[in-house]
């Protein structure tokens, strides 16, 4: 158990660190053309996410050590949860949750099943403290957890925790468990704190330290803290050179862990945390089981990764492709034959299935609907905000939905009922930009099942986008595919996700350049990632304002 004094200190440090402003100066890279020099933004302080926490523990200790965990959710900011981590504080209740998970992990690390290969040394006497062995363990795991070597004073402090509790409990491993728990609830582990240093090539400017560059790089590509090889490259100064950075980027892009990083990004971009609370009326949609909920999320992520990584496909084709994956949980909703069992199978949807692309998958359709019916407005808004980066205003608080929801309404289809909003000047402005897109998806009910009629009337699924008219979901997918706003939105989202903050106006020219390079590479996302993470612009930081104190790297 953590001592009360240490627990109080951890809570205080978390509370303080969540409010620490950090500012840095920019470094202008010689390889960036003058017209594209980027000032950048401030270094960030980001709270670790659930997935990043689990990825870190799996890499450091092994995948069977961490328990299931659900920390308090982050606040979605500028379309991404990843940006909300920058402003996330930690309550006392959250600290208790972190502490409980840390104690479980530490206990698993030192238990008889794991200690032989995770501890790496043996105490002289198991019932007494052994500072030599404890020092070895703390120095090794502390470096990986904190993403930097621990100072001698830090190692001693954690070794003293281990020794004190070992003497109290008459058990070396219990004492070591307390010390490992302390490492896991430290702000140094729970927060990704970017640090800076003077640029030796331009002392007036600041630059991210190697460790900060390693974190920014690893969080984007792997959704995880840096591994040992990347940490070593950072400590040796290799990430500050073009050759050293390129070597690590090539290694990381070739790693299977990159798929995990991309899955995390798209899960965030598609707002898939909504699946955690998604429910449908079981009477209206009996095929929409809990298994289907979990499978719908996985289907889309599996399709995206297969297309973008395994096939190295054009990002835009995700809106028109008929190649996907199905399992027995989803087959009743798609009304397509799939062998019973939990295995996923590659599937090319028939041309007459009425489906094609991400917008016609169960995940998008079910998430952006009501529990008992579809919602053209929600779906149209989601298309614009998620895939085109166009903000749709929230509806006024006093909107009257009674006419739309009236079962006795003379109009039997959603198109007819939505006509009520078109005549209301308070509603018409937003509905004009959402409904023409959402109505194109009305051949799918609230659970995503295909239908041709609603209320015994044939569904009119026509619509338009930017002057392009279409007659159904396939046409909408083709319009999104052909819209320059779709790949531009992806570039903006991916770049902000990697930075940890929304790019400023000074970065607009660089984003436009990335758009051009993305197009020149055939809209291949791996090439886009390479362009981003090898660019000096991605690591540029702002200069401190007059009178501000610049945070140091703590050395």
Overall average pLDDT of the 258-281 stretch: 96
Cross-strand bridge partners of residue 192 = 46
Residue 512, pLDDT > 50, answer yes
Do 157 and 72 lie in one domain? The reply is yes
Q: How confident is the model at residue 543 (pLDDT cuts 50, 70, 90)?
A: low
Q: What is the pLDDT of residues 357-414, one digit of tens each?
A: 999 999 999 999 999 999 999 999 999 999 999 999 887 776 655 555 555 555 678 8
Overall average pLDDT of the 231-247 stretch: 97
Residue 83, pLDDT > 50, answer yes
Q: What pLDDT score does 307 carry?
A: 98
DSSP string, 462-529: -EEETTEEESSHHHHHHHHHH-THHHHHHHHHHHHHHHTS---GGGHHHHHHHHHHHHHTTS-HHHHH
Do 306 and 175 lie in one domain? The reply is no
Q: Flag whether 466 is in a domain.
A: yes
Do 526 and 410 lie in one domain? The reply is no
How far is the C-alpha of 531 from the C-alpha of 518, rounded, in Å? 9
Q: What pLDDT score does 417 carry?
A: 79
User: In terms of Cα–Cα distance, which of 217, 241, 220, 243 is closest to 230?
Assistant: 217
How far is the C-alpha of 68 from the C-alpha of 145, rounded, in Å? 19
Cross-strand bridge partners of residue 470 = 463
Considering 132, 166, 193, which residue would you say is the last residue of a domain?
193
Do 389 and 277 lie in one domain? The reply is yes
Q: What is the pLDDT of residues 36-69, one digit of tens each?
A: 677 778 889 999 999 999 999 999 999 999 888 8
Overall average pLDDT of the 462-476 stretch: 94
Q: What pLDDT score does 195 carry?
A: 93
Least confident of 55-69, 411-425, 429-443: 411-425
Q: How confident is the model at residue 508 (pLDDT cuts 50, 70, 90)?
A: very high
Q: What pLDDT score does 19 carry?
A: 38
Residue with tokens 């470094």: 27
- The CB density around residue 312, as the number of other CB atoms within 10 Å, is 12
Q: Flag whether 159 is in a domain.
A: yes
Do 338 and 404 lie in one domain? The reply is yes
Do 425 and 523 lie in one domain? The reply is no
Residue 22, pLDDT > 70, answer no
Overall average pLDDT of the 456-463 stretch: 94
Do 269 and 153 lie in one domain? The reply is no
Furthest C-alpha separation in the chain: 85
Do 477 and 489 lie in one domain? The reply is no
Least confident of 77-81, 305-309, 357-361: 77-81
Q: What pLDDT score does 188 carry?
A: 96
- Residue 516's domain comprises 485-539
Do 169 and 275 lie in one domain? The reply is no
How many folded domains does the chain comprise? 3
Do 81 and 144 lie in one domain? The reply is yes
Q: Flag whether 205 is in a domain.
A: no
How far is the C-alpha of 344 from the C-alpha of 324, rounded, in Å? 10
Q: Flag whether 505 is in a domain.
A: yes
Q: Flag whether 549 is in a domain.
A: no
Report the C-alpha dihedral over residues 533, 536, 537, 541, rounded to 10 degrees.
110
Considering 175, 193, 211, which residue would you say is the last residue of a domain?
193
Q: Flag whether 235 is in a domain.
A: no
Q: How confident is the model at residue 296 (pLDDT cuts 50, 70, 90)?
A: very high
Do 44 and 171 lie in one domain? The reply is yes
Do 393 and 503 lie in one domain? The reply is no
Q: What pLDDT score does 402 carry?
A: 56
Overall average pLDDT of the 465-485 stretch: 96
Average pLDDT, the chain: 88
Q: What is the pLDDT of residues 107-136, one digit of tens each?
A: 999 999 999 999 999 999 999 999 999 999
Q: Flag whether 218 is in a domain.
A: no
The model's pTM is 0.89
Q: Helix H segments across 19-114?
A: 50-60, 81-84, 92-110
């Amino acid at each position: 158990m953590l001592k009360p004094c240490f627990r109080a200190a951890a809570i205080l440090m978390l509370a303080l660190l969540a409010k620490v402003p950090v500012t840095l100066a920019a470094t202008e890279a010689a390889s960036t053309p003058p017209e594209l020099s980027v000032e950048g933004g401030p270094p960030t302080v980001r709270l670790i996410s659930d997935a990043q926490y689990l990825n870190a523990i799996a890499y450091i200790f092994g995948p069977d050590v961490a328990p299931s965990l659900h920390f308090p959710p982050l606040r979605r900011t500028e379309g991404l949860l990843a940006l909300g981590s920058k402003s996330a504080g930690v309550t006392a209740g959250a600290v208790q949750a972190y502490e409980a998970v840390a104690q479980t992990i530490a206990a698993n690390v030192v238990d008889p099943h794991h200690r032989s290969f995770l501890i790496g040394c043996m105490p002289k006497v198991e019932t007494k403290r052994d500072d030599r062995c404890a020092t070895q363990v703390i120095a090794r795991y502390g470096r990986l957890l904190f993403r930097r070597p621990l100072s001698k004073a830090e190692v001693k402090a954690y070794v003293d925790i281990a020794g004190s509790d070992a003497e109290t409990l008459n058990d070396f491993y219990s004492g070591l468990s307390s010390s490992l728990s302390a490492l896991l609830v430290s702000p140094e582990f729970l927060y990704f704190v970017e640090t800076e240093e003077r640029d030796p090539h331009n002392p007036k400017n600041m630059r991210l330290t190697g460790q900060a560059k390693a974190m920014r790089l690893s969080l984007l590509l792997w959704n995880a803290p840096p591994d040992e090889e990347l940490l070593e490259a950072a400590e040796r100064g290799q990430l500050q050179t073009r050759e050293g950075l390129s070597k690590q980027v090539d290694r990381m892009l070739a790693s299977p862990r990159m798929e995990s990083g991309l899955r995390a990004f798209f899960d965030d971009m598609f707002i898939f945390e909504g699946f955690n609370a998604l429910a449908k009326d079981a009477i209206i949609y009996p095929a929409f089981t809990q298994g289907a909920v979990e499978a719908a999320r996985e289907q889309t992520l599996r399709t995206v990764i297969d297309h973008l990584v395994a096939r190295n496909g054009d990002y835009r084709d995700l809106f028109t492709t008929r190649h996907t994956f199905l399992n027995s949980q989803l087959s009743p909703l798609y009304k397509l034959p799939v062998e019973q069992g939990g295995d996923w199978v590659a599937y090319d949807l028939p041309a007459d299935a009425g489906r094609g692309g991400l917008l016609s998958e169960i995940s998008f359709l079910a998430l952006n609907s009501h529990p008992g019916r579809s919602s053209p407005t929600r779906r149209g808004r989601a298309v614009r905000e998620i895939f085109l980066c166009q903000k749709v205003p929230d509806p006024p608080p006093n909107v009257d939905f009674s006419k739309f929801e009236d079962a006795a309404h003379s109009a039997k289809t959603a198109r007819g009922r939505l006509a009520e909003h078109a005549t209301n000047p308070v509603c018409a402005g937003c509905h004009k930009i959402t409904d023409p897109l959402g109505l194109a998806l009305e051949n799918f009910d609230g659970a995503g099942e295909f239908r041709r009629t609603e209320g015994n009337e044939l569904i009119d699924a026509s619509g338009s986008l930017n002057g392009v008219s279409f007659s159904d979901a396939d046409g909408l997918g083709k319009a999104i595919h052909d819209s320059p706003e779709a790949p531009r939105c992806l570039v903006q989202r991916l770049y902000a996700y990697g930075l940890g903050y929304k790019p400023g106006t000074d970065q607009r020219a660089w984003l436009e350049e990335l758009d051009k390079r993305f197009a020149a590479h055939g809209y291949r996302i791996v090439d886009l990632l390479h362009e981003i993470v090898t660019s000096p612009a991605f690591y540029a930081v702002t200069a401190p304002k007059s009178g501000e104190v610049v945070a140091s790297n703590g050395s």
